[in-house]
């Protein structure tokens, strides 16, 4: 099967904002994304609700449980991206051409001390911080930049 005929991996992501309107980002440990920052996201399990998947990923990756979040909105449609040529066939055992992501926006009701990068084994991130929303596209790995621009455009007025 050619790359163009492969399916997209179902994925859910979460834009977590604090009381000051800043967005959570974590620095990826993955060597293919070294030095880049991203919001929590990951695969949707078969039969799993997309909102529940986003909250699960948030909890697994950064230790923020659902009761620590007020979910505000979800994107109006899933957003797709294709893997760049150098990652095609290497990521996800070559089964997917990219991801189809469902994003959610939520207000963090906890304290910074509630964030736990060791919640996931192995950890996804080696550092985290709160940033101005407009900085998101320049911090993400370039092939996901259009996704972050679209998520930001959709959620900007709700942050």
Count other C-beta atoms under 10 Å from residue 2's C-beta.
Answer: 6
Given this model, what pLDDT does residue 107 score? Answer: 98
Which residue is listed with tokens 């967005």? 23
Do the beta carbons of residue 101 and residue 13 sit within 8 Å?
yes
Omega within 30 of 0 (cis) for the link into 82: no
* Stretch 5-19: mean pLDDT: 95
Structural domain harbouring 89: 3-158
Residue 33: pLDDT band by 50, 70, 90 thresholds? low
Give all strands (DSSP E) within the chain, no chain letters. 8-17, 23-28, 37-38, 41-43, 69-74, 79-82, 98-108, 125-131
Query: What's the token pair of residue 142?
Result: 């370039």
Is a pLDDT exceeding 70 seen at residue 118?
yes
Count other C-beta atoms under 10 Å from residue 36's C-beta.
Answer: 16
Mean pLDDT for the chain overall: 93
Is a pLDDT exceeding 90 seen at residue 51?
yes
DSSP 25: E
Looking at the DSSP bridge assignments, the partners of residue 11 are 43, 101
Check which CATH number belongs to the domain holding 125 and give it: 3.90.79.10
Given this model, what pLDDT does residue 4 score? Answer: 76
Give 61-81 pLDDT, tens digit per residue. Answer: 999 999 999 999 999 999 999
Given this model, what pLDDT does residue 35 score? Answer: 82
Residue 47: pLDDT band by 50, 70, 90 thresholds? very high
Q: Residue 124: is it exposed, middle or buried by C-beta count within 10 angstroms (0-12/13-18/19+)?
A: buried
* Stretch 52-57: mean pLDDT: 98
Given this model, what pLDDT does residue 120 score? Answer: 84
Name the pTM for this structure: 0.93
* Stretch 41-69: mean pLDDT: 97
The total number of structural domains in the chain stands at 1
Query: What's the token pair of residue 16?
Result: 């977590």
Among residues of the chain, what percentage have pLDDT more than 70? 97
CA angle 57, 59, 61 (to 5 degrees): 65
Cα 39 to Cα 140: distance, rounded to the nearest angstrom: 9
Given this model, what pLDDT does residue 93 score? Answer: 79
* Stretch 38-56: mean pLDDT: 97
């Amino acid at each position: 099967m050619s790359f163009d005929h492969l399916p997209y991996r179902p994925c859910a992501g979460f834009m977590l904002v604090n009381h000051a309107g800043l967005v959570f980002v974590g620095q990826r440990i993955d060597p293919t994304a070294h030095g880049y920052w991203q919001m929590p996201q990951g695969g949707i399990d078969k039969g799993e609700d997309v909102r529940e998947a986003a909250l699960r990923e948030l909890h697994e990756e950064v230790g923020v449980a659902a009761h620590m979040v007020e979910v505000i909105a979800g994107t109006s449609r899933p957003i797709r991206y294709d893997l760049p040529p150098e990652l095609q066939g290497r990521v996800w055992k070559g089964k997917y051409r990219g991801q189809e992501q469902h994003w959610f926006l939520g207000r963090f009701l906890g304290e910074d001390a509630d964030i736990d990068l060791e919640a996931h084994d192995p950890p996804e991130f080696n550092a985290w911080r709160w940033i101005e929303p407009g900085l998101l596209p320049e911090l993400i790995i370039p092939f996901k930049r259009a996704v972050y621009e679209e998520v930001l455009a959709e959620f900007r007025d709700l942050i």
